[in-house]
Amino acid sequence: MISGESKSLNAAAEAYRRRRGRHPPPGFDLWYKYASDHDALIVEDFFDQIYHDLEPFWGADPAVLRKHATSLLNADGSDGISIRNHAISWKSDHFWFVRWANMVNTIVHLLPDMDIPLNAEDVPRVMVSWENVTALLEKAAPIAGFTPASQIISEFQSLPPPELYSDSDIPWQLGYRPKIDSSYAIPHLYQGYVSNYTLSTDLCHQPDLQGLEGIFIQPYLVRSTDVLVPVFGGSKLSVNNDILIPSPLYYEGTDDFLGGAGAESSWETKSDKVMWRGTASGGKNTVENWRGFQRHRFLAMNNATALTRLETSEDRPENFALPEKQYNIEAQADRRLGKWVGEWSDMSTMDLVCSSPQQDKRCEYTDAYFQLDTERLSMSEQLSRAKYVPDIDGTSYSGRYLAFLRSTSLPIKAALWREWHDSRLVAWKHFIPMDHRFVDYFGIIEYFLGYEGRGGHDQAAKSIAYNGKEWAEKVLRKEDMQIYTLRLLLEYARLMDDRRERMGWINDLKRN
C-alpha cells in the first residue's frame, strides 16, 4: 500500500488521472495541501470507495440530482447540511447531524456551495435496481476522459439558498426461512476461511443470508427509494447506492466507541479470552424468527453448556451449524467442544431486544437459551482484559470497529456493512475476517489459541493486532476522516454542476 504513496502535488494529480480516467476536481491543490499539512499518507487507492459510490451519478442529470438533494433535506430521517459561501447550516438537533456538521465545519473553508442529504437511520436509504445502475454506468462511461486544458473550468458554481421539499418513503419487508449452507460462501473462501473480504460483503452470491441477517428477516425500519438520489450515510450494504461518509460515532465518539485507556494495554497483560458484549440487535426479532438473527446465532455458538449437551445427545443446534469436517476441530473430534469453548469464551448480552419489550430486558421466548449480562464491562475494560474481540453486525455496522483496530486486541470481523475506510484495511494483516455464518469461527480460534496447550499461534495474533493498531493510527485518524470528506465533497460538488464534464484542476499541466 505505502509503495503507492504520492509525495508531491503533481505526483498526486498524475496518480489521480491514471486511476480515475479524468482530471482531478477543482480545489484538488487545496485538498492536497490540507492532507499534507495533516501528515496524511496520500495513496490514491485509499479513496476508491468515493468513486465506487459516485460513478453511477455521472449517468444522471446534475440538475435533477440537485433537486433531489434539496428535497431530501426535509425528508423524514434525512435532513442534512447546506453549504453557502463557506458557511454551513442545518436544522436537526439529532446528535449524528451535529457531529457530522462539526466534521464538515473543519473543512468548510475549502468547500464550494452544496446541499448534503444525510441519513441518521441505522439502515441505508437508496437501493436502485441492478438494471438501472448498469444503465447509468453505461451512460456515464463516455463522460470519462480528459477534456482539453483550454476548455477546463476551474471554479465551482454558486447555489441559491436551499429550498425544502418533502419526499415519500417506500417501505418494504422481507420474509425469512433460516437455513445455514456454507456452500454459498465458496466464492469468497479458501479452504474454509475468508480469502476475499470485499467479496464476502457482496450479497449477490449469498441468497441464504436472507434468513441469516436481521436486516433481511424483519428490519426495524426501512425507508428506501429505487431512484438514484444523493444520500450520505455511515454504512451501507453492497446493493445500496448511498454515499459513504465517516460515521459521527468514529469522529466524535465516546470511549464506548473509541476504546479509552484499555486500548493501550499490552498484549501480555491480557487473558487468552474471546470477549463480546452488546445487545441482541439486528432487526425486530420475534418468537417465529429470532433463530435467524446473527447476534443470537453468535451467542448460541459460545454457550459451552449447550454445546456439551449437543455432544451428548441427539439434539440439533437451535440456530447455528457445528463445524464442518474440513475444519478438523480437535475438541470436536474428542467430543469436548463445549468444555474447550468454556475455557476461552466470555460472551453475554445486556439486552435481548424482545419485540414485546420486557422491563428487565429479557425475552420470554428466548429465556431458555440466553442469560443477560451480569458483569457490565465498559469498552475500555473489555479491551484491557481480552486478546480477541469479535465484531458482529447489529442493526447495521456495530460502531466499535475503530476502537478494536486502535487497540492492542485482535479484531475478528464478520460484517456485511461497508464503511468509508474498507479500502484502507487488509484482511489477515490488520484484522481477522470471519464468514457471516460463523462456520469458520472455531477454526480461527483453534489456530490462535490451540487446543490443550498445543498448536497455538499467540505471536501471530499479537503481530496482526499491533499491525492493525499501528496502521489505524496512521490512516484512520480524525484528520484522515476530514481529508476523506473534503475529497468526497469536492467530487460531489463537481458532480452536481451542469458544467461537470469540463471541470477540473490542471495547473500542473499548464506549467509543463
Residue 416 is part of a domain; what is its CATH number?
A: 3.40.50
DSSP percent split of the chain into helix, strand, coil, nearest 5 = 45, 15, 45
Q: Same domain for 486 and 461?
A: no
Among residues 145, 84, 45, which one has the least CA distance to residue 502? 145
Provide the CB-side half-sphere exposure for 412 (13 A, CA). Answer: 25
Q: Is residue 242 part of a domain?
A: no
Among residues 415, 417, 289, which one has the least CA distance to residue 353? 289
Q: Same domain for 33 and 101?
A: yes
Q: Same domain for 418 and 485?
A: no
Instruction: Give residue for cell 454551513.
Output: 88
Residues 6+ apart with CB under 8 A from 403: 253, 256, 257, 258, 259, 263, 379, 383
Q: Same domain for 306 and 280?
A: yes
Q: Same domain for 498 and 427?
A: no
Contact (CB, 8 A) for 190 and 443: no
pLDDT tens digit sequence for 270-300? 999 999 999 999 999 988 889 999 999 999 9
pLDDT tens, position by position, for the chain (512 residues)?
677 899 999 999 999 999 999 999 999 999 999 999 999 999 999 999 999 999 999 999 898 898 888 877 765 545 788 999 999 988 777 778 888 899 999 999 999 999 998 888 878 888 899 899 999 999 988 887 888 888 999 999 998 876 433 333 322 233 344 668 788 999 999 999 999 999 999 988 888 898 899 998 888 877 778 899 999 999 999 999 999 999 988 888 776 777 777 789 999 999 999 999 999 999 999 888 899 999 999 999 999 999 999 888 877 888 998 999 999 999 999 999 999 999 999 999 989 988 877 778 888 888 888 888 767 888 999 999 999 999 999 988 888 999 999 999 999 999 999 999 999 999 999 999 999 999 999 999 999 999 999 999 999 999 999 999 999 999 999 999 999 999 999 999 999 999 999 999 999 988 65
Q: Is residue 304 part of a domain?
A: yes
Q: Is residue 457 part of a domain?
A: yes
Q: Same domain for 497 and 412?
A: no
Q: Same domain for 331 and 379?
A: yes
Q: Is residue 225 part of a domain?
A: no
Q: Same domain for 272 and 315?
A: yes
pLDDT tens digit sequence for 400-444? 999 999 999 999 999 999 999 999 999 999 999 999 999 999 999
Among residues 442, 64, 460, which one has the least CA distance to residue 227? 64
Q: Is residue 354 part of a domain?
A: yes
* DSSP code, position 327: G
Q: Same domain for 338 and 453?
A: yes
pTM of the model: 0.81
Q: Is residue 507 part of a domain?
A: yes
Q: Is residue 203 part of a domain?
A: no
* Total domains present in the chain: 2
Domain housing 41: 2-169+478-511
Instruction: Give residue for cell 437501493.
Output: 127
Provide the CB-side half-sphere exposure for 435 (13 A, CA). Answer: 31
Q: Is residue 189 part of a domain?
A: no
Q: Same domain for 402 and 426?
A: yes
Q: Same domain for 385 and 488?
A: no
Q: Same domain for 463 and 496?
A: no
